[in-house]
A and B are shown apart, each in its own frame.
Chain A
């Protein structure tokens, strides 16, 4: 049973039907321009499988966000309603997105976790002229942007940002401490790309580390004893780990109990995905943890993050992660875009293309700090990482010192080639 959505398709349909019926008999005439009708936002998020934990973070955050927005009068005076659809595979999710547009007539679509889904979905939504803001999905084929100049589709930060951050922190703070490196990752393009990026950055900064093992696990792999044995046999000083779903805590548990973490420093590129499951007994002090765009225990958080984290931990007995930030960011970018476009039109309701234009270059305050949407429709947010400490009141690790990076440092500029940019960029190491 899922408690994440309080608003259901059936409920919205019944409400619409009731409204239409009362209008038909003349009891409550429908306004000529539906400026007082609620804004309908379609949400697409995974609710099953290993990504369900991530989807739940986003859904809970977007519900909290619209509650706050509606309590403050809505977006430009209109309340916001959510219509939630599940993200599964690309084909099914695209059908659900079409339904949101054609049947539910949503004003905007937000969500999307997997690039495998958003990559094929984005061109269709662009053709349908649907304002779309992805939480986490991109339109990158590997590291190549496939939609450089969209008009209606807005994408998240590049997938590689947190991996570049992991590499930069490792290079800055662990240089000289590792000579034998190994990787473990699910066997997909992202995992292979970020591992290649780490090796390229090592080379760029003059670190001659030997690659002693590369472990490519299958998706949803739930037993890592053999991988741990293979890694132990290779005797690495540093393990670059790109696991990020339920597989990450399982791997760390197996690695710790087999003594692998006693001899190798762990770099957990996607620690933020499962940080609530990375319990202290199997996440040693000194493990490099990357939290993506939100770190729940950030020192001096924004008032919004502080309030949300308290709400989340109290209600769900868990620690919110970056997908909460992405959902909050997407809704606030949309709100700011609508209000900016409306102000430019002297108070009349803007068209989708006018809202989209207003969102280009817009700045908002997200949970993770100052954030914005680039002119090429790619988000820029803050990223957080650092080394694990057990010195806190939680059952999970926090960061000894919090290192933060703006996405403008971690992400290739508009139109740039990722590999070329890695070679020429001036990184703060």
Chain B
């Protein structure tokens, strides 16, 4: 009994973590930028999703459409990636420290923008997850909304795999990630690819934030809380690897659930202990590539 409940909690946490870190990995994989704004985009998605759904409800929209409305609002909020990428473009090719500082500047600016637009108080969406009810199977009770979020993460993982591995666009993206100059010499519009990838990565973060809002509250603490776990996922899975994000998110989700059950005081330590072990034993992560 306990194992199933714990596994369910771990996988729900992993699903949300995967969505955000997949975006982070995608951007690093192609643009070699550690995008600290991933946490801010996640928070933006949550706030924006809450507002869009409140507006939708005020127009008489059905609560049953919660999930599609939130996904759409997340996709919409992710368009802010266009603006961020336009600014980041000025530091492509410069020292990594410049890029890191610029994304950090965005984190701080986002914090003020979120406070200015939505105020300082955490925002909750009432009891909306219950519109989908619960699923009782063999003595277990699962909130259906949480199952749908997990399913959404699986669909996104599948779509990302298909896009990158099976489409011609994916081939160009991978070529750009491998060697941007060579790809450009062969006719690829790398500038457009960079924009596309950054916006896609941003949308993954904002959709993650929008999907999680019915089970949590949008708050100004969200970016930091998320980034602490997201970086653990990235290090464990390997920087730049989508498969790594998938497995890393599951590892972090399970570790968190287990430590909360058996050693609640050691929740963060248990995760970062594994991070340190990975850094020492396999510095490029489970699916990352060692530097040549």
Question: How far is the CB of B22 from the nearest CB of chain A, in Å?
Answer: 18
A214 at the interface (CB under 8 A from B): yes
Q: A277, B260: Cβ atoms under 8 Å?
A: no
The answer to whether B141 and A258 have CB atoms under 8 Å apart is yes
In the assembled complex, the Cα of A2 lies from the Cα of B119 at a distance in Å of 7
Report if A50 contacts B (CB, 8 A): yes
Known contacts A226-B10, A226-B13, A49 near B221 by CB under 8 Å: yes
DSSP majority for the B interface?
helix
Given known A-B contacts A222-B219, A226-B9, A277-B124, A233 and B225 have beta carbons under 8 A apart: no
State how many residues of chain B have any CB contact under 8 Å with chain A.
45
Closest residue of chain B to A262 (Cβ to Cβ) is B141
Which of chain A's residues have a CB closer than 8 A to the CB of B212?
223
What is the 8 Å Cβ interface bit string for chain B, positions 196-230, against chain A (1 contact, 0 not)? 00000000000000001001110111100100000
Which one of A47, A230, A279 lies within 8 Å of B120 (CB-CB)?
Answer: A47
Q: Which chain B residues border A218 with CB–CB below 8 Å?
A: 267-268
Q: Does A250 contact B (CB under 8 A)?
A: yes
Which B residues, 111 to 138, have Cβ-Cβ distances below 8 Å to chain A? 115-116, 119-122, 124, 126-127, 129-130, 134, 136
Please tell me if the beta carbons of B220 and A49 are within 8 angstroms of each other in the complex: yes
> B281 interface residue, CB < 8 Å from A?
no
In the assembled complex, A220 has its CB within 8 A of some CB on chain B: yes
Q: Report whether B261 and A230 are in contact in the complex, using a CB–CB cutoff of 8 Å.
A: yes
Chain A residue nearest to B261 (CB atoms) is A230
Taking the complex as formed, is A221 at the interface, i.e. its CB lies under 8 A from any CB of chain B?
yes
Q: Is the CB of A257 within 8 A of B119?
A: no
Check A48 for interface membership: any CB of B closer than 8 A: yes
- How many residues of A are counted as interface, with CB atoms below 8 angstroms from the partner's CB atoms? 43
Q: How far is B234's CA from A424's CA once the two chains are assembled, in angstroms?
A: 55
A187 within 8 A of partner (CB): yes
Q: Within A260-310, which residues are at the interface with B (CB < 8 Å)?
A: 262, 277, 279, 281-282
Which partner residue on chain B sits nearest A216 by CB separation? B264
With A52-B121, A279-B127 as known contacts, state yes or no: A259 contacts B217, CB within 8 Å.
no
Bound complex: CA A232 to CA B260 (Å): 12
- Cβ of A404 within 8 Å of any chain B Cβ, yes or no, is no
> Is B9 in contact with A228, judged by CB distance below 8 angstroms?
yes
**B116: A residues at CB distance < 8 A:** 1
Q: A233-B6, A257-B134 are in contact. Are A222 and B217 (CB under 8 A)?
A: yes
Contact, CB under 8 Å: A220 / B5: no
Most chain A beta carbons < 10 A, residue from B6, B13, B119, B264: B264
Residue of A nearest to B127 (CB): A281
Contacts of A282 in B (CB 8 A): 127, 130
Least CB distance, B263 to chain A, in whole angstroms: 10
Q: Which of A227, A250, A257 contacts B130 (CB 8 A)?
A: A257
Q: Which residues of A contact B8 (CB under 8 A)?
A: 225, 229
In the complex, the chain B residue whose C-beta lies closest to that of A46 is B120
Kindly provide the distance from the CB of B205 to the nearest chain A CB, expressed in whole angstroms.
16
Is the pair A220, B225 in contact by a Cβ cutoff of 8 Å?
A: yes
What per-residue 1/0 map shows which CB atoms of A1-36 lie under 8 Å from chain B? 110000000000000000000000000000000000
Chain B residue at minimal CB-CB distance from A187: B265
Q: Which residue of the partner chain A has the closest CB to B118?
A: A1
Contact A49–B217 (Cβ < 8 Å):
no
Identify 30 residue pairs between A and B in the complex whose beta-carbon atoms are under 8 Å apart, listed by A's number: A2-B119, A47-B120, A48-B220, A49-B120, A53-B121, A214-B264, A220-B219, A220-B225, A221-B225, A225-B9, A225-B13, A225-B146, A226-B6, A227-B264, A228-B9, A229-B6, A229-B9, A229-B261, A230-B264, A233-B2, A233-B261, A246-B122, A249-B124, A250-B215, A256-B130, A257-B134, A258-B134, A259-B141, A279-B127, A281-B127
